[in-house]
Amino acid sequence: MSYLLGRGSAVEWLRQNRNMRIVLPEARWSVPYPLLEGSRTRLKEYLPMLSGLTLPIQLVVWCREDRRRTAISQSHVLTTQDGFYPAVRIANDLFVSSPEFAFLQMASLLDEEHLVFLGMELCGRYGIRDGKAFTRAQVCTPDVIEALIDRMPRIRGRRAAQAALPRVLEGTGSPMEAALALILSIPREMGGYGLEAPVLNRSRPVEGHARELWVDDHITPDLLWERARLVIEYDSDLHHSASSRIANDAKRRDVLTEMGYRVITVTTEHMRSRSEVERIASIVANALGTTVSTTNQDELASRTEFQARMRHIAQHPEELLAIG
């Protein structure tokens, strides 16, 4: 039979592949059931191209009789009879679950916080290899995931996916940037600040005198609240060495300021400080015409714990796949 990498192995392959050629949102992969049967190719022939994946590799099969457990693989029966499987062909008889399908498969394994964070990664603009984040094109959107959820009503984990998906923001540029966006936007009863969600890494035209400061005709703020004319720039080392990054970030701030935005810079050190995160949230809240203050000690404790969990997930992305 052919092989379909699913669950944690699919996510691991998707996050590590720098050259994933997936066009969205028009091109989707729906592999018919018969295409995934009949081949006698042995999995070990593909091991060189699967280097870097955690063993055992997680495979999807179509009935209990096809389940096999070997030294390098485990099989899981796909709990749906919908007749199609959103997958990407990566070799002759080897497929990998598409990003949206991987999200659905992981929904039955992860708690809501981890699933939301995974959704941010799959719908973001970064991948992870050897524990390090790198930039790449966005390969999925929440709308694509929602369409798949609607199309596969019998798949296991569907309810969990439906519950988590509204929290997923697309376009995030790094794990810590995702953590910051979630801390600010997740509802207060869940440990966040419950603020209006920002737009992440969406290109804006550079107009007026700002054109004289910027070589391109567009600029891409990290976190943007357009109606409040507020931008948060998260300092990350994904793009440049220290000296070039500092110069580029300063020019970006100048351009955004000239365009009429208030620009706040957030660093990893800020994220480690509860008081600094509270200050940043207060700035955003004031700009949006609301407040984040509370005298409820339980809510304060919940915020502190939630922020710690978000930072931990951002700093240890491998733990998202520890479920196997």
- Domain check: are 19 and 127 in the same one? yes
Range of the domain at 253: 175-307
Strand, helix or coil at 265? strand
Amino acid 131: pLDDT = 80
* Confidence at residue 37, expressed as pLDDT on a 0 to 100 scale: 60
- 202 shares a domain with 86: no
Q: Is residue 58 part of a domain?
A: yes
**pLDDT tens, N- to C-terminus, the chain (324 residues):** 678 889 999 999 998 886 655 443 344 556 665 566 655 567 888 888 888 898 899 988 777 777 778 888 988 887 665 667 788 888 878 888 999 999 999 999 999 999 999 999 999 999 888 888 888 888 899 999 999 999 888 888 999 999 999 999 999 999 999 999 999 999 999 999 999 999 999 999 998 888 888 888 999 999 999 999 999 999 865 544 566 666 777 888 999 999 999 999 999 999 999 999 999 999 999 999 999 887 788 889 999 999 999 999 999 988 888 664
Q: At CA 92, angle to CA 86 and CA 98, rounded to 5?
A: 20
pLDDT attached to residue 250: 84
Residue 277: the pLDDT is 96
Q: How many domains does the chain have?
A: 2
Residues 138 and 273 in one domain: no
147 and 205 housed in the same domain: no
Q: Which of these, 131, 151, 128, 168, lies nearest to 20 by C-alpha position?
A: 128
3-state class of 133 per DSSP? strand
Is the Cβ–Cβ distance between 107 and 162 less than 8 Å? no
203 and 221 share one domain: yes
* Same structural domain, 145 and 184: no
Note whether residue 314 is domain-resident. no
Q: What pLDDT is stored for residue 169 in this prediction? A: 97
The verdict on residue 43 lying in a domain is yes
What is the predicted pLDDT for the residue at 26? 40
Same domain? 206 vs 279: yes
Q: Is residue 318 situated within a structural domain?
A: no
CA distance 159 to 111: 12
Classify 157 in phi/psi space as left (phi over 0), alpha (psi -120 to 50) or beta.
left
Which amino acid would we find at residue 225?
A: W
Q: Which of 113, 13, 126, 121 has the alpha carbon at shortest distance from 59?
A: 13
- DSSP, residue by residue, 296-317: -HHHHHHHHHHHHHHHHHHH-G
Query: Same structural domain for residues 241 and 136?
Result: no
Q: Are residues 219 and 143 located together in one domain of the fold?
A: no
Q: For residues 2 and 178, what is the distance between their CA atoms, to the nearest angstrom?
A: 36
Token readout for 74 is: 């485990």
Of 165, 195, 226, the one marking the end of a domain is: 165
Q: Could you tell me if residue 321 is inside a domain?
A: no
pTM of the model: 0.88
